[in-house]
Amino acid sequence: GAVVSQHPSRVICKSGTSVKIECRSLDFQATTMFWYRQFPKKSLMLMATSNEGSKATYEQGVEKDKFLINHASLTLSTLTVTSAHPEDSSFYICSARDTTPSSPLHFGNGTRLTVT
Amino acid sequence: DAKTTQPPSMDCAEGRAANLPCNHSTISGNEYVYWYRQIHSQGPQYIIHGLKNNETNEMASLIITEDRKSSTLILPHATLRDTAVYYCIVRVGNNAGKSTFGDGTTLTVKP
């Protein structure tokens, strides 16, 4: 089955620093990947759609300068949380689907970010 | 994408079938029904999807009503490891993205 690998699984950083999260599709090519954020006991909230070779599309209310997304290849997208603050602490999840019509999303195992 | 409605929580006895309903009364003709589940502190896992015919795989069965306004995910023999939040999502099959997650159903399988 399709596998999406997300790293790191956990990261702790100090306020003001930047953190990069990687999302890789291991056995399929993904022209589009998606980044979600999840607060405790809440559902997934779509942050942005990552498009290979072009700019990401951000959902309303998501700061594109704070959450930098790069989709450099058909198998890799990165999310960089810039100048992190404690309120950025959250569970971040990426997903991807291949180009087959109606193919489902496949998700990474998430990254738990704690900003101190 | 069409909105879905799911009960917030359900219980099921271990070994019994778990039947999880989803209402998607505004579904369009070209929208598929997808089911995912999320175990605590993990990324969601794809379970099954369908357009209008019933589907079955090694994990579950999906029953879609004839008018496609609702569906039921069936876990035939629930185990404790099936305790999770189950999400029903509808979206166009060739849509490049934006699967919107509702609150899902928290299924608790009890011994």
pLDDT digits (tens, 9 = 90+) for A66-95: 999 999 899 999 999 999 999 999 999 999
The yes-or-no verdict on residue A102 having pLDDT over 90 is no
| Burial of A36 from C-beta contacts in 10 A (0-12 / 13-18 / 19+) | buried
Bridge partners, residue A95, by sequence:
A34, A107
Phi, psi for residue A20 in degrees, rounded to 5: -110, 135
Q: What residues in A contact B41, CB-CB < 8 Å?
A: 91, 110, 112
pLDDT band at A32 (very low <50, low <70, confident <90, very high): confident
Residue that wins the pLDDT comparison between A63 and B98: A63
Contact B44, A93 (CB under 8 A): yes
Question: Which residues of A are less than 8 Å from B44 in CB distance?
Answer: 44, 93, 95, 105, 107
Average pLDDT over residues A7-11: 97
Distance CA B35, CA B61 (A): 10
pLDDT at B4 over 80: yes
Question: What is the pLDDT confidence band of residue B59, given thresholds at 50, 70 and 90?
Answer: very high
**Is pLDDT above 70 for B65?**
yes
Is B44 in contact with A95 (Cβ distance < 8 A)? yes
For residue A85, the model assigns a pLDDT of 96
What CA–CA distance (Å, rounded) separates A49 from A36? 9
- B59 CA to chain A: closest CA distance, Å? 13
Q: Which residues of A46-66 are buried (b: 16+ CB within 10 A; e: fewer)?
A: bbbbbbbeeebbbeeebeeee
Coil, helix or strand at residue B94 = coil
Whether A110 has its CB under 8 Å from any CB of chain B: the answer is yes
